[in-house]
Chain A
């Protein structure tokens, strides 16, 4: 049984959907970050698969940059999280209602 691009894209989509569930469901900011990592990885899989099946390096390059961005995001995000925690003593999403319109 030949594994084609479609298989990978479907897998990527499923992972992405799991990530979305996490994003919508999680209330703890740290676990929310985990969900975003899942989203990014799901996309990475798709990139790598497309790159492979079309013989084009661009997909891999993008996956590479996505990883770089994910790493920076984690660094800055965690820093902000720490500041927030110091100030409010909680990283509960419901406590973050300062943007209420």
Chain B
């Protein structure tokens, strides 16, 4: 099994390095093919490992080599494949394989084809390290690695200023959060003396609650950055500047779920501090609603899906925060499938529409892009949580978890009706904005004709690549029981049962009816001939709420105005005042002195032996004087000290 572990881990690295060899050369199809094949190899290995774990095999735990060993600090490059990481590995490798194959078609005309695959495979490698590491330090390496690759891929079209800006924004926001994460890691090491999961988890039980609370909070700050939770959420929407396959892989399926993974992985910590868990759940519920509301009015196809991702991450955090770790992990998996499918479908549409992102300029694409329509429609149904798609099972489980509540330390069931209500409402919003998008793109008048687009169905390879994701989005719910049994032990999972069977039926059917009615409402509103490209004159567009939502609650504006701008001004002051006047002046002064001395002493080096001899004698005199001074000082040190003390020194 260890061999499969290493293959699963290092195949992406090999692919990345292979593609990296050709980054400076024109497009080579085989870099994409080789990259995809290697990721596929990784997928196969992960599947074998999954089968092994499913059969009840012991978690595979290997220590490849020692990374650091200084004093008490011992950090190995260790990897573990247990129920949690194998799930993540499956998600990561499956979505990456699909995205790699899809990218062969999608990036076909791009000059940076080879570079794209190098970054993409590097990302997969980092992600694999993140999920497979058996200690927090390794997790942090992967964490930073995916951050770096995300930076490289968001800013992939680096000649676009908006892309580089978005890449830097994502990177910087993540650094802010990573500081929190680092503090968390330091605290873990400080208090437990190890960063290994096993050792640290065992030691957590002996620590007092306040210490654990701080650790939990700081680790969660790291998770907030990576998973784009409020208030560090703005980067995710801006990250849509990157190529669409990147959005599908990184900003929907894998990297942004790393925060959720961190919380799930540290479940032994968070189950000790349910108050922090409640905070996480509350924040998750807030983000779910907050992001969904922004998705309602947005006019950028990819941003709508990004906000939906944000919203679904909120759902995951609700589940994780309430102690329903297996539900969070299950939703993570299901979400990865349908959200990646949605993004890739959006990529098809963009391809067809010459990178046009405004769904109001599309409409009626159903006839031209039948398969994309079907796939996106199915994925949207899954996202909306309609039976029997994957989203139904996972989202329903989260709602139940919120409704039933979690076991507190005293085994008292705590119900979280407010969170439940928020999530339920958000589920309706989700259904609405998902089908608003579908309706605007694929139904109604063919508005694209006004703008001179000539849409066409995407290449076969792209459609074929999406197909597995769509299938999984449809059927993943069927694996719920299997999944539950697998992770039961690892995550102390409990099934959530509402006590009364009637309540269950009411809840489920109620949710379904609510979601379906929202879908119908979306269709009614957007599938008609009155829909036109908004021009900022309608009553709706001038309403306060619309403006608030459309401008993302003015949060980016707020950040720009009250954080970026003052920071810029302070930097300006430091630059002109401190850097130029003090630091540079000092450095220049030193250089000037040295230069001046050199210029003056150049005459010494006249090449005339006689002059040199004179200088030699001068040096001799200097050295002799020093000898005298030191000799006398050493000889009369007592007297000198006496004299100095008399002077009061």
A residues with CB within 8 A of B: 20, 23-24, 26-27, 93-94, 96-101
Contacts and interface: CB of A to CB of B under 8 A. Distances in A.
Interface residues of B, number: 11
B602 interface: yes
Interface string B594-624: 0000000010011111101110010000000
6 closest A-B pairs (Cβ-Cβ)? A100-B607, A101-B605, A97-B607, A99-B607, A24-B614, A93-B610
Nearest to B606: A100
Interface of B: 602, 605-610, 612-614, 617
Contact of A93 (B602, B605, B608, B617): B608
B602 A101 contact: yes
B452 to A, nearest CB: 73
Nearest to B605: A101
A3 B45 CA distance: 98
A24 B607 contact: no
8 contacts: A24-B614, A27-B610, A96-B609, A97-B606, A99-B609, A100-B606, A100-B608, A101-B602
B610 A100 contact: no
B617 A94 contact: no
A18 B617 CA distance: 12
Nearest to B615: A24
Contacts of B614: 24
Nearest to A29: B609
B553 to A, nearest CB: 69
A99 B610 CA distance: 12
A93 B609 contact: yes
Contacts of B617: 20, 23-24
Given A99-B612, A100-B605, 11 more contacts: A20-B617, A24-B613, A24-B614, A24-B617, A93-B608, A94-B608, A96-B607, A97-B607, A98-B607, A100-B607, A100-B608
Contact of A97 (B602, B608, B613): B608
Nearest to B604: A101
Per DSSP, chain B at the interface is helix
A101 B613 CA distance: 16
Contacts of A94: 608, 610
Nearest to B620: A20
Nearest to A94: B608
A100 B617 CA distance: 19
Nearest to A24: B614
A98 B608 CA distance: 8
Nearest to B613: A23
Contacts of A20: 617
Contacts of A23: 613, 617
A101 B614 CA distance: 17
A15 B116 CA distance: 81
A23 B605 CA distance: 18
B597 to A, nearest CB: 14
B617 to A, nearest CB: 6
A93 B606 CA distance: 12
Contacts of B609: 93, 96, 99
Contacts of B602: 101
A80 B304 CA distance: 89
Contacts of A101: 602, 605-607
A40 B602 CA distance: 31
Contacts of A26: 610
Nearest to B607: A100
B575 to A, nearest CB: 39
Contacts of B605: 99-101
A75 to B, nearest CB: 20
Nearest to A17: B617
A24 B610 contact: yes
Contacts of B610: 24, 26-27, 93-94
Contacts of B612: 99
B600 to A, nearest CB: 13
B422 to A, nearest CB: 80
Contacts of A99: 605, 607, 609, 612
Contacts of A98: 607
B541 to A, nearest CB: 77
Nearest to B618: A24
B327 to A, nearest CB: 79
B581 to A, nearest CB: 36
Contacts of B607: 96-101
A98 B613 CA distance: 15
Contacts of B613: 23-24
Contacts of A24: 610, 613-614, 617
A65 B628 CA distance: 28
Nearest to A96: B609
A85 to B, nearest CB: 15
A99 B611 CA distance: 12
Contacts of A27: 610
A23 B609 CA distance: 10
Nearest to B621: A20
A58 to B, nearest CB: 21
A98 B606 CA distance: 9
A23 B612 CA distance: 10
A4 B167 CA distance: 86
A96 B602 CA distance: 18
A81 B76 CA distance: 68
Nearest to A21: B617
A100 B613 CA distance: 14
Contacts of B606: 97, 100-101
Nearest to B602: A101
A26 B610 CA distance: 8
B613 to A, nearest CB: 5
B208 to A, nearest CB: 71
Contacts of A93: 608-610
| Residue of B602, B605, B608, B614 ringed by the most chain A CB atoms within 10 A | B608
A84 B614 CA distance: 23
A24 B615 CA distance: 9
